[in-house]
Structure 1
Amino acid sequence: MLRIPIKELDVPQYDDDHVIRSWKWFMSFMSKKDWQRRKADIENKIAVHFKATQPFSEPISEGTLLVEKNDVIGWYLYLLDMLINEPHKYEYFQGSRIVPIFKRFGLDFELLKNIGGVEKKIKDLINKRKSEADAFLFEIMTALLWARNGYQVAFLDEKKAGKTSDIIAKRDEETWSIECKRQSKTSDYTYRENTKRQKMVSYISKTLLERNILLDIEFHVELENLPDTFLKDLLEEKLKRPVTGKIVSNTKVDIELSFVDMFKIKEHLENNSVKDYSPMLHSLIGKKPIDNKGFTCGIAADYFRIGEGDVNNLYISYISNAFGVYCSCDAKEALWAKARDIKNQVHKAMQQFNSQNNAVIHVGMETFDGPQVEKKRFDKIKSTIAQISTENTNLKWIFCSFFQAYSRPHEYYIFDETVSTISPYLTPKPPLDTRLMIVPEDENTEDDLNHWDRPLP
Structure 2
Amino acid sequence: MKSKRRDAFAPKEFPATLFRPPDKRGDDWPDEPDVRRAVTYFRDFIGQDEWKKRRNAAANRLYAASLGRVDETDRGRYFDESDVFGWYLFLAEAFIDHVWNFEPTFGSRVVPVFKAIGRGLDLLLSVDGVEERARRLVSSERRQPNGGLFELLVASAYRSSGARVKFVPERRGLSRTYDMDVEIGSRSFAVECKRLETSQYGERERAAMRELWRPSATGFSQNEQSAFCDVHFRIPIDRVPPAYLTEKSLEWLRSDMPSLLWSDDMSYGAMGELDLDPLREVLDDHHVLASSSRMLELLSGRYVRHANYIQLSRLKLAENPRYVHECDLAVLLRWESASPEAIDAKARDITTKLSEASDQLPAGRPGIVHIGFEAVEGDDVERARHRKIIERAQAFDPRGKPLEYVYCHYFVPESPPDQAWAFDETLQWVGIAPTGPHPLGETMLILPAEGVREGPHWR
Shorter-normalised TM range? 0.7 to 0.9
Structure 1 residue runs of 4+, over 6 Å off?
Answer: none
Q: In structure 2, how many angstroms separate the alpha carbons of the residues matched to 1:85 and 1:304?
A: 21
Q: In structure 2, how many angstroms separate the alpha carbons of the residues matched to 1:91 and 1:144?
A: 27
**Identical amino acids, percent of aligned pairs:** 24
Of 400-409 and 269-278, the range deviating more from structure 2: 269-278
Corresponding residue for 2:47?
Answer: 31
Corresponding residue for 1:188?
Answer: 200
Q: In structure 2, how many angstroms separate the alpha carbons of the residues matched to 1:356 and 1:235?
A: 64
Task: Work out which of the residue numbers 401, 408, 430 in structure 2 matches 1:422.
Answer: 430
Summarize the Cα distance change of 1:47–1:412 in structure 2 as closer, same or farther, 3 Å threshold: closer
Residue 129 (structure 2) pairs with residue 113 (structure 1):
no
One-letter identity of the residue aligned with 2:183: K
Corresponding residue for 2:279?
Answer: 265
Task: Work out which of the residue numbers 296, 303, 306 in structure 2 matches 1:282.
Answer: 296
One-letter identity of the residue aligned with 1:191: E
The CA deviation at 1:117 is 1.0
CA contact 1:216–1:327 (8 Å) conserved in 2: yes
Q: Which runs of 5+ in 1 are unaligned?
A: 307-312
One-letter identity of the residue aligned with 1:346: L
Q: Secondary structure at the match of 1:204?
A: helix
Q: In structure 2, how many angstroms separate the alpha carbons of the residues matched to 1:84 and 1:426?
A: 43
Corresponding residue for 2:314?
Answer: 300
Q: In structure 2, how many angstroms separate the alpha carbons of the residues matched to 1:284 and 1:319?
A: 12
Corresponding residue for 1:396?
Answer: 404
The CA deviation at 1:116 is 1.3
One-letter identity of the residue aligned with 1:402: Y
Q: In structure 2, how many angstroms separate the alpha carbons of the residues matched to 1:96 and 1:168?
A: 31
Superposition RMSD on alpha carbons, in Å? Answer: 2.7
Residue 88 (structure 2) pairs with residue 76 (structure 1):
yes
Q: Deviations over 1:223-278 (max 9, x none)?
A: 22334433112321313446466622111121223543422222211221112122
Q: In structure 1, how many angstroms separate the alpha carbons of the residues matched to 2:245 and 2:102?
A: 34
CA contact 1:218–1:253 (8 Å) conserved in 2: yes
Q: In structure 2, how many angstroms separate the alpha carbons of the residues matched to 1:197 and 1:295?
A: 10
Q: Secondary structure at the match of 2:205?
A: helix
Q: Deviations over 1:73-101 (max 9, x none)?
A: 11101112222232112101000011001
CA contact 2:236–2:341 (8 Å) conserved in 1: yes
Q: In structure 2, how many angstroms separate the alpha carbons of the residues matched to 1:32 and 1:102?
A: 19
Of 375-384 and 118-127, the range deviating more from structure 2: 375-384
One-letter identity of the residue aligned with 1:135: G
One-letter identity of the residue aligned with 2:441: D
Corresponding residue for 2:111?
Answer: 99
Corresponding residue for 1:449?
Answer: 455
Which structure's relative contact order is higher, taking Cα pairs within 8 Å and 6+ residues apart? 1
One-letter identity of the residue aligned with 2:342: A
Corresponding residue for 2:9?
Answer: none
Residues 310-389 of structure 1: matches in 2 within 5 Å? 313-389=321-397
Corresponding residue for 1:309?
Answer: none
The CA deviation at 1:435 is 2.4
Corresponding residue for 2:187?
Answer: 174
Corresponding residue for 1:132?
Answer: 144
The CA deviation at 1:301 is 2.6
CA contact 1:282–1:290 (8 Å) conserved in 2: no
Task: Work out which of the residue numbers 435, 439, 443 in structure 2 matches 1:435.
Answer: 443
CA contact 1:168–1:177 (8 Å) conserved in 2: yes
Q: In structure 1, how many angstroms separate the alpha carbons of the residues matched to 2:269 and 2:135?
A: 51
Q: Secondary structure at the match of 1:82?
A: helix
Q: In structure 1, how many angstroms separate the alpha carbons of the residues matched to 2:57 and 2:296?
A: 28
Q: In structure 2, how many angstroms separate the alpha carbons of the residues matched to 1:163 and 1:200?
A: 44
Q: In structure 1, how many angstroms separate the alpha carbons of the residues matched to 2:107 and 2:433?
A: 39
Residue 59 (structure 2) pairs with residue 43 (structure 1):
yes
Q: In structure 2, how many angstroms separate the alpha carbons of the residues matched to 1:277 and 1:115?
A: 41
One-letter identity of the residue aligned with 1:117: G
The CA deviation at 1:356 is 3.2
The CA deviation at 1:52 is 4.3
Summarize the Cα distance change of 1:20–1:304 in structure 2 as closer, same or farther, 3 Å threshold: same
Q: In structure 1, how many angstroms separate the alpha carbons of the residues matched to 2:256 and 2:444?
A: 48
Residue 257 (structure 2) pairs with residue 233 (structure 1):
no
Summarize the Cα distance change of 1:113–1:98 in structure 2 as closer, same or farther, 3 Å threshold: same
CA contact 1:73–1:133 (8 Å) conserved in 2: yes
Q: Secondary structure at the match of 1:442?
A: coil
Corresponding residue for 1:310?
Answer: none
Q: Which runs of 5+ in 2 are unaligned?
A: 1-16
Q: How many residues align?
A: 433
